[in-house]
Structure 1
Amino acid sequence: MRMTFRWYGEGNDTVTLRQIRQIPGVEGIVWMLHDVPAGEVWPMDKIRHYKKLADEYGFHIEVVESVNVHEDIKMGLPSRDRYIENYIQTIKNLAEVGVKVICYNFMPVFDWMRTDLFKEMEDGATALFFEKAKIDNMDPQELIRKIAEIPDFTMPGWEPERLKKAGPTIEAYQSITEEDLFRNLEYFLKAVVPVAEQYDIKMAIHPDDPPWSVFGLPRIITNRDNIRRVLDMVDSPSNGITLCSGSLGANPANDIPAMIREFAGRIPFAHIRNVRVYPNGDFIETSHRSSDGSVDIAEVVRAYHETGFTGYARPDHGRHIWDEQCRPGYGLYDRALGIMYLWGAWDALERVKKG
């Protein structure tokens, strides 16, 4: 397991590379170019700038997250081929600086979805929270306004210029079914995976978060059967999944350890985090400790260990603790604690293995 830490870049993150360097076992940063709109080619000068920053602290930049797929590709519009060509050029550009994994998603309009970014917990910490009934009865524009109230940080999938067009885009998706979305994803994968394979890069699709339809939009990366279907679309080591225990774990029917064991070899990147799921469908993000949530993180780590996982991992979202003022879900302290929990579980399994 190769530990990484998501970093949002200079002027866009309260966490510094110097601080990340002090977390034991972290070898790389997971990064993206937040100022490049979806569908545009990532320019080499900006890519090299991130590499230079990482090099100064001894980090690799082998994992890129949120090379966003343009909505025209997801909707299967005639203009998609131009955006796919741009995506292919970005793959080639990233290969020049040693990128090995590209994490992306195929969620229409929105990426992750929450109703409260700072829900207070019993111990005084706050965390990202999803209230199902509120989403079921909410106008999407209300949620967009809520996210826009935090102007200091750009959020992947929630960029202001993208959200300005959200209304018409949501309307356009009303005629698109899940089967349409599967077909459009297959078209995309058949175009980009051979290029990724040529450049020794693994495409790793992220599950939908939460793993069910919101605002009537189709969502397809939601369960074991659908993931298997996507991996079978293009049978290549370069067509993989970012297995996120938190996203998939919001649905108690998803058996995360079983997925890890089935898809071993096709998981180049792992997001490991916990959520507490309530009977009414609400969920809140908790510490990584197994007993604090509904996902048995210790068993998740065991599944990775038993299958000989050598890919990249990161702790993903964390709570906001010790009065830290930070990007929602992406502070320093709780994610650092999460890493140490993961290392503790991994090291214990290593000791057992060695006898």
Structure 2
Amino acid sequence: MVDLDEIRKRAQAAAEKATGSLQKSMEESNQQLERMRENLNVSAEPDDAAQDGTAQSAADAQRQVELLGQMFSPEMIQQLSVTEEMIRQTVDRKVAEAAALGVDGFMSQMFGEDMGIISAALETLAMEDEEDASEEQELDLALEQELYTLLDQKLAQIEALPEAEPVTYPKNTPQWKHFGILLSGIISSLNNHELDGMDVEQHTPVMEQQIVSLVRRSWGINGRSELLDTIRYLSREGYELRYQIYCDADTVEQVPDESVDEEDRESACRGWRFAQHYKARYVPGFMTGWDVGRAAMLARWGCYLGWITEGEAEGILWELSQRAEESLHSWREFASSYLFGGLMWKLLCGDSAAESYLGYLTDAAIDLLTGKPEDNEGQWKECPWPGARKIGFQG
């Protein structure tokens, strides 16, 4: 948040500093003027041989005295004082205007159309600082059980949301492209991205750099090759395969290729306990929404950054759409899958902030399914799920 009091203090300090520098300069110049006058007054009369050589020097010195005298005459000093007062009044007026505009208006006036981007970036940094500064709760067995209970509550909350019946999409229609874009809906909502086209944001240097940083920091992806490799992994294996491996293992020691690293082993134990807790209720295919939703977001980010063409992004989204339609059967089930995978991810990472994360995901799903278009919400509500409703759970 912009601190207007701090702006006022800094502006006042700058004005005082400028005034001090001006006064110091005036004092030094006055001292120089006095020295020059004294030199002229105490100079002895030159002899005949030096008279011609010193006459011009004396004239030049006298001229400098006159110029300095004019520069720092009472009239000039008064004018400088008036200028100083004008500077102070201007500072006060600008600070008052900033206060009247409010923080958003003030920043918008300073940075123009890029202010929304800068504001979002500052808010993100503030959130990260708060998270870093907060005391982390130890992720122990008791907290894991609490998170299972919370997940069940969130899944029930999503399942109770209203949703239109699925409809049949003809092949090769714009509906499929729009549906593919909406598969990135949860992440897009969390990042305030657009959902009415392939581009996630307007193309500005600041936003493009922000998306590059996001993809690199969160995913370790630095270009086209790594982007396609990650999308391929999410499309063919992803957390669906990992969840299945954990479900099939009777003990965590049976999980293949288990690292001897203590931190990795603890992560595997948390993932295995999660799978054992839920495997009787949710089949591995239920993890599809988590993999597909993130792959769809990566495809849109990659297209926005120019790492893949729009045609390539559309092809990727088409394949992801077919997989989602085959494994899941409504936007509610898709959202539940995303929460399901999101908690497993947080557990594997050992992140004790999973509770707030589940809350963010749930709020995004609610907005997509029940929000109003004028609020840039309700996109899922306006686009029914493709295909006939089937039973997606076992047990």
TM-score, length of structure 1 as denominator length: 0.24
Specify which structure has the higher proportion of helix: 2
Q: Which has the higher contact order (CA 8 A, sep 6+)?
A: 2
Specify which structure has the higher proportion of strand: 1
